Amino acid sequence: MKNKGCLGAGTIGIALLIIVAVLFFWGKSGYNNFVTKEQTVNTKWSNVETVYQKRANLIPNLERTVKSYSKFEQETLTQVVEARSKATSINIDPTNMTDADIAKFQAAQGELSGALSRLMAVVESYPNLKADQQYINFQREYTAIENSIRTETVYYNEAAQDYNTSIKTFPNNILANFTNFKEKPYFKAEAGAQKAPEVFK
């Protein structure tokens, strides 16, 4: 009877060790998977910031080009410069960002897009400025960057969706809650965002 009791206790001990080992390796694998996916999201966000920054970096050259045309409407140019300043002042930590952070970022970038669109419309009344090589170069770069912005925001959303799905599906959600991995927000599509920019004619 003694041996049977020892055997039973030994079997239970082995079973517990197996369970602990399975939980450990599952937890380790799951945690590392979350880290990898979160790093991918952070990288994609960095790419989004980079293309928006490239767009902002075009503004000083545009400002110099437009200012050379003394009769150009200064108010419209000022709106672009102010919108650029506001857009570049927003810094977001991708490891801890929220829907509100994304909305604030998008709103500021949207203001800059709107100000640029108004400036482009005004340029139509200035044939010499429209034909200026510096302005033509700006048009080319701006269009390429706008296309990159749409591409990078899509890539970011795809990475965020992959990460969010991973941490919200059972049983991963238990581990994610325990290890404090939180859902990442998405870029929201703006009206007409699926179309190519039509700021130039």
- How many CA within 13 A on the CB side of residue 88? 15
Q: Which pLDDT does position 113 carry in this prediction?
A: 94
| Domains and their CATH numbers in the chain | 37-176 (1.20.1440.20)
User: How is residue 29 written in tokens?
Assistant: 């694998």
How confident is the model over 37-89, as pLDDT tens digits?
Answer: 999 999 999 999 999 999 999 999 999 999 888 777 888 999 999 999 999 99
Is pTM beyond 0.75 here?
yes
Q: Cα separation of 121 and 123, whole Å? A: 5
Contact indicator for 130, 101 with CB cutoff of 8 Å: no
> At 7, which helix (H) or strand (E)?
helix 2-67
CA 88 to chain CA centroid, Å, is 14
Q: Which residue, 184, 187, 161, 183, is CA-closest to 48?
A: 187
